[in-house]
Structure 1
């Protein structure tokens, strides 16, 4: 599964330097939901937690290179199941 491919790349896992994050999967789901739905951060459903914390954590992961590392790992998958097409660029 996608989650199994990336979970060992994320900070906050068991045995990793720093604090252990019990909600890495929920956080990743929140970020994906926000971008899939195309909503502002403040409209993130409450089940994902406080939108400000989700945004802050994403910003930290971007600055530390975690997000780039995940995208590079998924892009190396030759299955291409993780490719996204932006409809603002592709015309039918």
Structure 2
């Protein structure tokens, strides 16, 4: 028997559909809050709307970089600890 065949006291649990839906919704929440306020932000800062629109590209780039880091961390430490740290 190999070590992968021996599972003593380990229980595999899968996240519920509600948990996954909530996590997906939370990732889109900042974008849905920020996007409608872009015209007001550009007028308050007295800058071009296109310049303020670059913040969306920055948010997307930060999200991509974060997800590229969270994937390997999730493989190493497990999905649950990574999600709890990210939500914290």
**TM-score band w.r.t. shorter chain:** 0.3 to 0.5
- Larger RCO, structures 1/2 (Cα 8 Å, 6+ apart): 1
User: In proportion to residue count, which structure has more helix?
Assistant: 2
Q: Rg: which structure is higher?
A: 2
State the TM-score, normalizing by the size of structure 1: 0.32
